[in-house]
Amino acid sequence: MTTLRELTLRGTILGAFITVIFTASNVYLGLKVGLTFSSAIPAAVISMAILQLFKGSTILENNMVQTQASAAGTLSSIIFVLPGLLMIGYWSHFPFWLTVPICAAGGMLGVLFSIPLRHAMVVKSKLPYPEGVAAAEILKAGSHENNANREGLKDILFGSVVAATVSLFTNGFRLISDSTAYWFSCGKSILQLPMGFSLALLSAGYLIGLMSCIAIIIGTLLAWVIGIPILTAITDYDTTLPLSKVAMGLWSSDIRFIGAGTLAVAAVWVLLTLIKPVIEGLKESFRTLRPDVSNKDIPRTEQDLSPKTIFMIMASMLAILVLTFYFFIADSGLSFGTAWALVFCSVLCAFIIGFLVAAACGYMAGLVGSSASPMSGIGIIAIIITALILLGVGEINGMLSTNEGSHFATALALFTTSTVMTIACIANDNLQDLKTGYLVHATPWKQQVALLIGCVVGALIIAPTLDILYQAYGFTGAIPRPDMDISQVLTAPQATLMTTIATGIFSHNLQWTMILIGLVLGAVIIIIDLILAKSGSTFRLPALAVGMGIYLPPAITMPIFLGGLLSWYIKRGAYKKAALNHLDPKEQYTRADRKATLIASGFIVGESLVGVILAAIIVISITNGGNDAPLAIDIDLGNFTQFGGLAVFIIICLLFARRALSAIKK
């Protein structure tokens, strides 16, 4: 295996090419609808298809391509914060030499922070990493070196075709719905019975297992069975409005902040529990500095970038951030001393908060996958902490005594949080990639180099893409030209929310009640989980999973929960079927589980690829004067779209379970 091609020039060029497409698509979709897609699995599929045309391509080379492309695609999450600088009127465009450095430097710091976390959260952790496992299965099934996996490729293709077809009919043709909900009231209280039909999320639920899914659904129940009914009962809302609009409005403005508070406490707790294994990981890395130890003494699959290299890159990135923040602050009119004090304060905030949230984001990615991780929730936590720190600094040096000073402080908080966001989103994705590499026996330091390259390429793409989209469509509250079509404006929902929070903190009118409730709730859940652990219970209640259940919409959490139920059903069915046929139940369940994992991986592949293709079609449509649903078939099907989506989803769940259990020998 050590002689196989891994980090190659052709792979790096291919990774850069895929990066350009996926990053631009992610930036557009994130600004348009507030959603981004994980590019790791589509990149792996495209890489395998192209590299198979060349002689000597390997599973490790394919892994490097998807690693590089996924890092760059994930970096586009900076759009959740950075457009706020235009929304408050501080910028009139995206300056290339300010946008590129914070994307590249922040992303590369995220890569470096994930290195000691690799030992703690990938090698020694039992976190499921659903997308990382799925990517590994895809790479193995398409590998030249292992013909035994060709049978598994059929299962992946089956799942891919099914999911791609469903995604095309839901998000493309719009003939069936991708979610539904039945809304009803009890007095003034509003309730709903929700369901989402995403096969990728169903697959994520299967891969993470029932226990974590139960914790997530508990969070959803806290939000929608307790939180929303109480809020609607005590709120004087407009009864002429649809129940869904009222409830979703309160969820967005109040309940999500409870989720953010719960995530904040859970993130701190995760960090505390990881201190010991992270220190062990650092010790493992520092082994290479000892004179009596060489790389030959460390297995290839355990060789990270050397501490010397890490410190050199980290110092360079910090220097770039210092210069970038200085140029950002230099135009504020502040005195030389105050400007440099703010530079060091902002960079230190970005560095420390970035490292803290990197651990939490890595844990979330391991728990539910990169795509379902509530990155905007992490952004809320980061903007609150950063703004409060700058608020304190501003009160001390008198910067906030004028409206101009408060305006600048708000802009600096957004700029600093943008850096934190790049660190967080890269850590959220990188550990997923490192899990894939761990499963296919890649060389960690080569993966880390690919990740660093991906950050640089992604940064170079994000900056001009943001400016082009802004000049073409504008953002909510920020229109570059007065004669523009308002209907085409990009909503940038997360950036709007971050801007509102930052402005609220500096104007002293942010509602803290819901955040404090979330903090208390998170502490209570942690205590309950500790009691369960001490009692020896097999059931656990991770606070991060509960927080995600509160923060994420039910259309996302419900299919995840059903995926967990499917994993339990298939395990139960496998043991029962094995007993009837007098077979070893563990061996037969392993066979069924592997087949189910391959099908689930296919679901993720199919939905992701169609998402990428639709994103490209939408961009082409809008740039040529069309709408954001160019493939939609204009037929009024009424409620059939929702019932049709539900029926298709149920049928596919049954087929999924039946095909998985067919792996058991009779």
Question: What tens digit of pLDDT does each residue of 620-660 get?
Answer: 776 677 776 788 888 877 788 889 999 999 999 999 999 98
Q: How far apart are CA 284 and CA 279, in angstroms?
A: 9
**Tens of pLDDT, residues 396-442:** 777 777 778 788 888 888 999 888 888 887 877 778 888 888 888 88
- Kindly state the percentage of the chain with pLDDT values over 70: 86
Token pair in block for residue 372: 């379902």
Stated length of the chain: 666
In the DSSP assignment, the letter for residue 480 is: S
Q: What is the pLDDT of residue 287?
A: 57
Instruction: Determine the number of helices (DSSP H) and then strands (DSSP E) in the chain.
Output: 23, 2
**Which amino acid does the sequence have at 609?**
L
Dump pLDDT digits (tens) for 4-43.
677 788 888 888 877 777 777 677 766 765 556 566 766 7
Residues 6+ apart with CB under 8 A from 152: 137, 140, 141, 594, 595, 598
pLDDT at 612: 65
Q: How far apart are alpha carbons 625 and 605 in whole angstroms?
A: 30
Specify the residue for token string 């407009």: 238
Residue 195, SS3 per DSSP = strand
Both tokens of residue 435? Answer: 């899990």
Q: Report the pLDDT value the prediction gives residue 247, as an integer from 0 to 100.
A: 92
Q: Is 70 exceeded by the pLDDT of residue 278?
A: no
Beta carbons within 10 angstroms of residue 119's beta carbon: 22
At 480, list the tokens: 């570059």
> Phi then psi for 83, rounded to 5 degrees?
-60, -15
Q: Which residues pair with 186 in a beta bridge?
A: 189
Please state which of the ranges 230-239, 331-340, 473-482 shows the lowest mean pLDDT.
473-482
Enter the pTM of the model. Answer: 0.74
Q: How far is CA 281 from CA 119, 275, 296, 429, in A?
A: 5, 10, 19, 19
pLDDT at res. 131: 74
Alpha-carbon span 69 to 13, nearest angstrom: 10
- Of 120-134, 328-342, 616-630, which has the strongest mean pLDDT? 328-342
Give the C-alpha separation, 568 to 562, whole Å. Answer: 10
What integer best gives the mean pLDDT of the chain?
80
DSSP 196: E
Quote the Cα angle for 658-181-631, to 5°: 80
DSSP letter at 541 equals -
DSSP labels, 354-369: HHHHHHHHHHHHHHH-
The dihedral formed by the CA atoms of 371, 375, 377 and 378, expressed in degrees to the nearest 10: 140
Q: What is the pLDDT of residues 576-630, one digit of tens each?
A: 888 887 777 888 887 888 788 878 878 877 886 777 677 677 767 766 777 767 8
Q: Compute the distance between CA of residue 254 and CA of residue 412 in angstroms, rounded to an integer.
A: 26
Question: What was the pLDDT predicted at 523?
Answer: 93
Cα–Cα distance for residue pair 110/631, rounded to 1 Å = 38
List pLDDT tens digits, range 35-44.
565 667 667 7
Question: Average pLDDT for residues 314-320, to the nearest whole number?
Answer: 92
- Does residue 663 sit in helix, strand or coil? coil
Token pair in block for residue 105: 């430097």
Cα 619 off chain centre by: 22
Question: Which residues are paired to 586 by β-bridges?
Answer: none
Return the SS3 of 489: coil
Q: Which residues contact 362 (CB under 8 A, 6 or more apart)?
A: 114, 117, 121, 427, 428, 430, 431
Q: What is the pLDDT of residue 566?
A: 93
Tokens (6 digits) for 145: 């070196």
pLDDT of residue 148 exceeding 50: no
> Which of 139, 11, 19 lies closest to 65 in space, CA to CA?
11
**pLDDT for residue 308:** 83
